């Protein structure tokens, strides 16, 4: 798997072997992700170099022969731990797909796997994940082989490292009664020019108290959470075939350049690169 990291090159695409599976292959030297969340499980493996990332209040380091698994809704970022950069492959796996695989392998029906460790040394399983990811990338080859290999490696990750929770949302707000309505308002009105006053009013709090509770509950300040929602909106519009300027406008960005900066800071690729991966 060993290669030399190139200067900030990445490809994000949708796997054609599964309904809702996004794949990333990237080589980063200076790129830094903003702190963000995903609605899906993040499963990855380092080919070469070392990634440094913040997760659950502390820094983690992921070298080769280690698995990275981050649960849905958990705040994290990412960058190279060295000047030499790192190369990695990631799958963003929908929670329902992970749950179905877990159930098929005899785990508790209706429960979602929860992974306690973000980085785990497991050379054998890391190699299996890498091979499954490569098979998914080779879209003109056997779909049966790619699907089989990926499902089996996810099942093995679950069997070795998961515990189970009834919660459908893994990052539960510490003050759900106070924060839930504000989260819904940001999601529903992501493209609007919301203020702290608007959100605090929903929670029945002062804007100062609301800001503190929101960040404690979600791991992100309200503006970062709104930007995250706008990026997800823009990604969805691009997937539906809208051009980049339309996607930026519909998602609430001030212009296409602003969308590009935020899109890359959260997803690792530019909107244009993502669009080309879908329609080229």
Q: Print pLDDT tens along the chain (280 aa).
A: 556 666 899 999 999 999 899 999 999 999 999 999 999 999 999 999 999 999 999 999 999 999 999 999 999 999 999 999 999 999 999 999 999 999 999 998 988 999 999 999 999 999 999 999 999 999 878 999 999 999 999 999 999 999 986 654 455 556 667 788 899 999 999 999 999 999 998 888 999 999 999 999 889 999 999 999 999 999 999 999 999 999 999 999 999 999 999 999 999 999 999 999 998 7
Whether pTM exceeds 0.85: yes
| Same domain assignment for residues 25 and 71 | yes
| Same domain assignment for residues 19 and 51 | yes
CA dihedral sign of residues 99, 120, 18, 240? positive
Would residue 4 count as lying in a domain?
no
Give me the DSSP letters along 157-202. HHHHHEEEES-S-SS--SSHHHHHHHHHHHHHTTTS---HHHHHHH
| Same domain assignment for residues 15 and 153 | yes
| Same domain assignment for residues 187 and 137 | no
Give me the DSSP letters along 82-95. STT-EEEEEEEE-H
| CATH number of the domain to which 105 belongs | 2.60.120.280
| Same domain assignment for residues 107 and 237 | no
| Same domain assignment for residues 272 and 246 | yes
Which domain-ending residue is among 166, 195, 214?
166
Split into its structural domains, the chain has a count of 2
Identify the bridge partners of residue 90 per DSSP, sorted by sequence position.
24, 44
| Same domain assignment for residues 161 and 183 | no
| Same domain assignment for residues 127 and 190 | no
Contact by Cβ (8 Å): 19, 131:
no
Give me the DSSP letters along 31-100. --EEEE--SSEEEEEEEES-EEEEETTEEEEE-TTEEEEE-TT--EEEEESSTT-EEEEEEEE-HHHHHH
In which domain, by residue range, is 90 found? Answer: 9-166
């Amino acid at each position: 798997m060993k290669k030399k990291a190139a200067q900030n090159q990445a490809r994000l695409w949708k796997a054609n072997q599964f309904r809702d599976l996004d794949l990333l292959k990237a080589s980063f030297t200076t790129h830094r992700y903003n702190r963000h969340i995903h609605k899906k499980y993040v499963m990855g493996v380092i080919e070469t170099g070392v990634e440094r990332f913040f997760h659950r209040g502390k820094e983690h380091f992921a070298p080769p022969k280690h698995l990275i698994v981050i649960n849905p809704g958990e705040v994290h970022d990412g960058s190279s731990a060295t000047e030499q950069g790192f190369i990695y492959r990631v799958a963003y796996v929908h929670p329902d797909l992970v749950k179905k695989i877990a159930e098929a392998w005899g785990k508790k029906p209706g429960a979602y796997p929860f992974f306690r460790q973000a980085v785990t040394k497991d050379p054998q399983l890391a190699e299996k994940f890498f091979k499954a990811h490569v098979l998914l990338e080779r879209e003109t080859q056997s779909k049966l082989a790619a699907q089989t290999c990926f499902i089996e490696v996810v099942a093995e990750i679950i069997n070795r490292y998961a515990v189970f929770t009834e919660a459908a949302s893994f990052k539960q707000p510490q003050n759900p009664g106070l924060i839930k309505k504000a989260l819904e308002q940001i999601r529903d009105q992501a493209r609007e020019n919301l203020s702290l006053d608007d959100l605090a009013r929903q929670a029945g709090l002062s804007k100062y108290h609301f800001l503190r509770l929101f960040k404690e509950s979600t791991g992100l300040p309200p503006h970062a959470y709104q930007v995250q929602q706008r990026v997800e909106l823009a990604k969805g519009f691009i997937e539906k075939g809208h051009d980049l300027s339309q996607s930026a406008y519909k998602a609430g960005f001030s212009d296409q350049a602003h969308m590009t900066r935020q899109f890359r800071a959260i997803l690792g690729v530019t909107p244009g690169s993502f669009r080309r991966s879908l329609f080229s």
